[in-house]
Amino acid sequence: MNIVIANIHFLISSKDIPLLREPYRKTYAPFIADTMSSDEGSVNIDVSLEITDFPSTDHITRIFKTDSWSIFRNGNEYFWTDISSSLDKPTCLARFHRPIEKVKVYCGKELFKEENGKKLLMNPFSYPLDQILLIYVLAEREGAFMHASAVDFNGKGYIFPGRSGAGKSTISRNFVLKNREVLSDDRVAIRKIGGSFTVFGTPWSGDAEIAENRNLPLKGIFFIRQSDEIVIKELTPAEAAERIMPVTSIPWYDEEALSSILSFCEDLVLHIPAYDLHFTPSTEVVDVLEKFLS
């Protein structure tokens, strides 16, 4: 099974038991591929699913914990564990070294499922493990994962970052109503490939459920805020850097990944023009932006 996000191929294999493609939401479908890519910037990450005992993390430093998962670090080796709230124990554990080239995922019996008398393995490569691995892989390869919608203006990509409720799905719907193509209405990946910045759609959509496995050269950043009028204000790189931090997925608990992503964001705002965009929830904003960009 091949999951392709931002031209990063997660090659998922299970040699012990057939793999069930669940539990992917429908917006994930364009990102499940049967072929490999040799495009510039293509990255292959081997993800092997193992049916065996979990390695112990008892004597390894835990660097971060949430209610549903933890991550441990021992030098350059990382362990990520999912915690089932009902069982209070891991249902799977991912083990990898950085830079990430291979990931081994140990699967617990809770991931087994019987269908027509056959035992199948439910794929653990799903949220949040998929996002966490993507964030690390991007950080290692001049990239970042952001809360933003992305649209296509005449073959050029423009992103509209904003926190939850800022209006990413609203502005995306308005672009669709004006027959503009939208790559994503909630989350995007940005990579620097061959010296140029590229924006990619991702499987994680917002309320508009738009998630396209496409990419475009990134030409502009518009930080959005809903308002009773449409106003566009150009930002200095310092102002753009201040605004981009809250909408970028950054593992603050990991100094090396943190440093890489901060450097990438600094490079991004130094080379891509950025603006504040106050907009009304109507298609008028699309007309204003078309005039502005022309």
Lookup: tokens for 125: 């490569």
Whether residues 98 and 52 share a domain: the answer is yes
- Summarize the confidence of residues 217-221 as an average pLDDT: 98
SS3 157: strand
Last residue of a domain, one of 139, 161, 182: 139
Q: pTM (2 decimals)?
A: 0.94
Last residue of a domain, one of 139, 159, 182: 139
Whether residues 7 and 135 share a domain: the answer is yes
Lowest mean pLDDT among 80-84, 260-264, 285-289: 80-84
Q: What is the C-alpha to C-alpha distance for residues 51 and 93, in angstroms, rounded to an integer? A: 11
Between residues 25 and 279, the one the model is more confident about:
279
Whether residues 41 and 68 share a domain: the answer is yes
CA 87 to mean position of chain CA atoms: 28
Between residues 79 and 22, the one the model is more confident about:
79
Domain holding 262: CATH number? 3.40.50
What pLDDT sits at residue 115? 78
Instruction: Tell me whether residue 87 is exposed, middle or buried, using C-beta atoms within 10 angstroms of its C-beta: 0 to 12, 13 to 18, 19 or more.
Output: exposed
- Summarize the confidence of residues 60-65 as an average pLDDT: 95
What pLDDT sits at residue 190? 98
Whether residues 123 and 195 share a domain: the answer is no
Whether residues 157 and 113 share a domain: the answer is no
Whether residues 149 and 272 share a domain: the answer is yes
- Summarize the confidence of residues 18-43 as an average pLDDT: 79
What pLDDT sits at residue 86? 61
Whether residues 286 and 154 share a domain: the answer is yes
**pLDDT range class, residue 19, cuts 50, 70, 90:** confident
Number of domains, the chain: 2
Whether residues 115 and 199 share a domain: the answer is no
Lowest mean pLDDT among 22-26, 124-128, 216-220: 22-26
pLDDT in tens, 75-126: 999 999 998 666 667 899 999 999 999 999 999 888 888 877 788 888 889 8
Please determine, for residue 143, whether its predicted confidence score (pLDDT) is greater than 90.
yes
Please determine, for residue 35, whether its predicted confidence score (pLDDT) is greater than 90.
no
pLDDT above 70: percentage of residues in the chain: 96
Integer CA distances (angstroms), 198 to 12, 81, 191, 279, in order: 25, 32, 5, 25
What pLDDT sits at residue 34? 75
DSSP string, 197-264: EEEEE-S---TT--B---EEEEEEEEEEEE-SS-EEEE--HHHHHHHHGGGB---TT-HHHHHHHHHH
Whether residues 284 and 174 share a domain: the answer is yes
Q: Is residue 191 within 8 Å of 142, Cβ to Cβ?
A: yes
What are the beta bridge partners of residue 115? 118
Whether residues 156 and 111 share a domain: the answer is no
Q: What is the C-alpha to C-alpha distance for residues 226 and 164, in angstroms, rounded to an integer? A: 12
Whether residues 124 and 161 share a domain: the answer is no
Last residue of a domain, one of 139, 173, 195: 139
What pLDDT sits at residue 23? 57
Whether residues 159 and 100 share a domain: the answer is no
Which structural domain range is residue 69 located in? 2-139
